[in-house]
Structure 1
Amino acid sequence: MTAGAPAKDDKTPRTARGERTRRALLSAAAEEFGEKGFHDGSISGITRRAGCALGSFYTYFDSKDDIFRALVNDMSGQVRDYVSPRIAQARDGIDAERIGLLSFLEFARAHKEIYRIIDEAEFVDQAAYRAHYENTASRMAARLAKAAARGDVRADVEDVHAWAIMGMNVFLGLRYGVWDDSRPAEQIAAIANALVERGIGRAD
């Protein structure tokens, strides 16, 4: 295929109705895979949950692998779209990390299936799995760099700090978002943020 040429099999919805159908299929896939896992989940189960005909599935996706890959990318985007606007309201760089974790905990509690889906992606689609975490860490590293430029955090923050904070957030989301969501999310975020502040906060 020559550069700039359209995809041979472009399944992008061209109408609002088509986009609604595709969205319904992705939402149904999240339920199906979240409940049954990738291997036991099925296309028929997805279409049944979505209230769509089997033919509608193949209008937008080639296979179970294809919709799973699209779902991982979609859920990663949902997290970004939920968290980013809230972080934009932060007082400073340290507060941004508190709000980031708080927002992620809120999202994980509302979408507990995300952990099973992302974890299975490691074995179903390694590239999508890796992209999810690399993109998240990249956004976090860029945010920390801006905070350092403003003097909100230490000047030597780097990629390692971004991955360390992300790792903490991932496991806090699992423990206090999926396994047990009874403890106030604000409390969890405040405790974790105290660690972040002591770790990368300005020395003064």
Structure 2
Amino acid sequence: MYVYFQEWHARLMIERSKAIKSPTVHYQLAGTKKIQQELARPGAVEKYISDNTAVNKIRSTFVGQHSLDLDGEGDKAVLLGINRPHDFVLKPQREGGGNNIYGEDIKDFLVKHQNSEERLGYILMERIYPWPQKNHLLKVGEDIRLCDIVNEIGIYGVYIGDSDTEYENKQVGHLMRSKTLGVDEGGIAAGFATLDTPLLVE
């Protein structure tokens, strides 16, 4: 994300300006794996939302996320990953496809870095196994064929506000991607998945 001082300085300059940021540094941080893991902790959502019904709906979408900090909690998570690698995904603080660690590779990584600061750059997340369905995937250089696929959908929103006032907060679209069943990674640009369109039925 930001490696050198000049990058951080440029970001600070943008944040201090009156320009509309897309995304703001708050939204960018909220999208990191570590912040997502912290928001999944008991009491975190409740700190920002007082409506218990809304809180329960939000929490119903969560999966287990475990810190790999160098402490007792992190040590327990390491053992979870070593003993049940196929139940989890190791997610690093990076974006784009090709960076997650799956299956037996989780066990190998955690055994190797069990007592290393290298593990701090990851979180251990409960793996989601979506239900498969049939579809045709269109990919450059590959034959079109009917195959078993799984989907992932992301919802886009627009939020404009300042410390006192919310001016705009609405859903504006979505992105759906599909990949062949059994493929771990899901990045479109990395070539693992393809764009798709949901068929809405009543």
Give the TM-score of the pair, scaled to structure 2: 0.23
Give the TM-score of the pair, scaled to structure 1: 0.23
RCO greater where, 1 or 2, for CA within 8 Å and sep 6 or more? Answer: 1
The structure with the greater share of residues assigned to helix is: 1
